[in-house]
Amino acid sequence: MVYVRQDKLPKLKEYKYQGVDHSFVSRYVLKPFYNNVVIHCFPMWMAPNLITTLGFGFVVANFLTMLWYTPTLDQDCPTWVYASWAIGLFLYQTFDAVDGTQARRTRQSGPLGELFDHGVDAINTTLEVLLFSASMNLGQGWKTIMTLFASLLTFYVQTWDEYHTHTLTLGVISGPVEGILTLCIVYAVTAVLGGGSFWQRSLLESIGVANHSFIPDSIYNLAWNEWYMVYGSVVLVFNTIASIQNVYAARRSRGQKTRDALLGLLTFAAAWVLIPAYLFLQPMILHNHLVPFVFYAGLINAYSVGRIIISHLTKSRFPRGNVLIYPLIYGVLDSLGPFLQEKLGFGWPSALGDGVYQVAFVFLCLGLGVGVHGSFVIDVIWTICDYLDIWCLTIKYPVNEEEEKKAK
């Protein structure tokens, strides 16, 4: 499949990064730290995309330790594991933020950098959902799925916003800044507390609030991790509404219909009708094999986001549909027959059943996701590098500062 049409390639040379960051933490704390300290740790010969890749390597290492110590997402790990997750994620955030400065410093700014940066962030979003679930002992269940939904929706809407406004807008509270720092704090606190079991305790009880009669039991018994999900839901709603307002304002200023932009959210909505439906019909997958399924769901979102970014860079039509949801449609229909037969008395037999073939189906979907998204990434990187005469992980034409000074 051709992901970048030849007639759209000239648009790549018109690329110019536009971003707005309203975060006070980013403006007054992180950016001075990045620009005055961190950037000097990287030599001029190091490509920006290589910095992004190295930073992502810390997250991959975190993910591997999670698979070793708590593959079911509900077991306490050694203290050093949680500490390494906090350090690894902070280093990822630092490397991910510095790559833009390195690109400007080495004259390597371009569309490939934005695509590479967003593509890595899309995969990291899913991995961090699993790490967060493991740090709070959420286990394999609906809480992890709700966390996944909130994280993927935030990333998808932010990319959808950038496509229509042509500007990457980060709010006062955003995922790439405050969201990641919050996760770092959660991992670090979990290390200090000695495990994720603490987050299962009632928040009000653990801070010494008495169980007064005017406090409903449902509120008083809410655990730390459930209060965190309430906080996350509030931030999710706030950021989603802000992005919709940004898109509406941008399209109205250009005289375009605002409702057409909302159609771009249907791809995400379709996937998230199918994902909970499949898990509801297959509780065995939900409670015993959730990690590979979550990774597959994350790849569905990463593939959609990647295509949106390409359309943004080449000024193409907004992409709709996603080939990776087709196996999910089959999985839901296959599982729906026995459910209807049990509840209503009519239906159809399942070809996969609810045993080993269903597990194999999930891993087949995961393999398909890796293959399709992997082919997309390789094809797009190869096409852009070939057209712009650049390399991805190394600098093809390094800047000679001494010669530039002499020329001036």
What value does the mean pLDDT of the chain take? 90
Active site residues: 118
- pLDDT given at position 95: 95
Cα angle for residues 195, 196, 201 (degrees, 5° grid): 115
- pLDDT given at position 15: 86
- pLDDT given at position 406: 59
391 pLDDT band (50/70/90 cuts)?
very high
Rounded to the nearest 10 degrees, what angle do helices 79-105 and 48-69 cross at? 170
83-to-29, 80, 184, 346 alpha-carbon distances in Å: 22, 5, 9, 53
> Which CATH number characterizes residue 93's domain?
1.20.120.1760
Residue 405 has pLDDT above 90, yes or no: no
- pLDDT given at position 279: 97
374 pLDDT band (50/70/90 cuts)?
very high
- Mean pLDDT calculated for residue range 134-150: 94
197 part of a folded domain: yes
Q: Residue written as tokens 């593959």?
A: 71
- pLDDT given at position 284: 95
- pLDDT given at position 67: 95
Q: Establish how many alpha carbons lie within 13 A of residue 162's alpha carbon, considering only the half-sphere containing its beta carbon.
A: 27
User: Which of the pair, 354 or 174, is modelled with greater confidence?
Assistant: 354
The model's pLDDT over 162-221, given as tens digits with 9 standing for 90+, comes to: 999 988 887 777 778 888 999 999 999 999 988 888 888 888 888 888 887 778 888 888
- pLDDT given at position 268: 95
Q: How far apart are CA 198 and CA 76, in angstroms?
A: 10
1 part of a folded domain: no
Q: Which two tokens stand for residue 321?
A: 């549909």
Phi-psi region of 77 (alpha: psi -120 to 50; beta: other; left: phi over 0): beta
Q: Closest Cα partner for 325 from 352, 296, 305, 353?
A: 296
Q: How far apart are CA 40 and CA 38, in angstroms?
A: 5
- pLDDT given at position 227: 87
Phi-psi region of 209 (alpha: psi -120 to 50; beta: other; left: phi over 0): beta
Range of the domain at 304: 6-407
- Mean pLDDT calculated for residue range 138-148: 94
Q: How far apart are CA 334 and CA 344, in angstroms?
A: 16
Q: Which two tokens stand for residue 32?
A: 């001075």
Q: How far apart are CA 34 and CA 51, in angstroms?
A: 13
Percent of the chain with pLDDT strictly greater than 90? 64
Strand segments (E) across 183-288:
none
- pLDDT given at position 17: 82
Residue 387 has pLDDT above 70, yes or no: yes
The model's pLDDT over 280-320, given as tens digits with 9 standing for 90+, comes to: 999 999 999 999 999 999 999 999 999 999 999 999 999 98
Sign of CA dihedral 317, 318, 324, 327: negative
Residue 23 has pLDDT above 90, yes or no: no
- Mean pLDDT calculated for residue range 125-139: 94
The model's pLDDT over 217-255, given as tens digits with 9 standing for 90+, comes to: 888 888 888 888 888 888 889 888 988 999 999 889 888
The model's pLDDT over 296-307, given as tens digits with 9 standing for 90+, comes to: 999 999 999 999
203 part of a folded domain: yes
Sign of CA dihedral 316, 392, 20, 178: positive
Q: How far apart are CA 78 and CA 392, in angstroms?
A: 38
- pLDDT given at position 220: 85
Q: Which two tokens stand for residue 36?
A: 């005055």
Q: Which two tokens stand for residue 215?
A: 């406090």
Count of structural domains within the chain: 1
- pLDDT given at position 145: 96
223 part of a folded domain: yes
Percent of the chain with pLDDT strictly greater than 70? 98
Q: How far apart are CA 299 and CA 292, in angstroms?
A: 11
Question: Among 128-142, 166-180, 184-198, 339-353, which is the least confidently predicted range?
Answer: 166-180
Question: Among 26-30, 50-54, 256-260, which is the least confidently predicted range?
Answer: 256-260
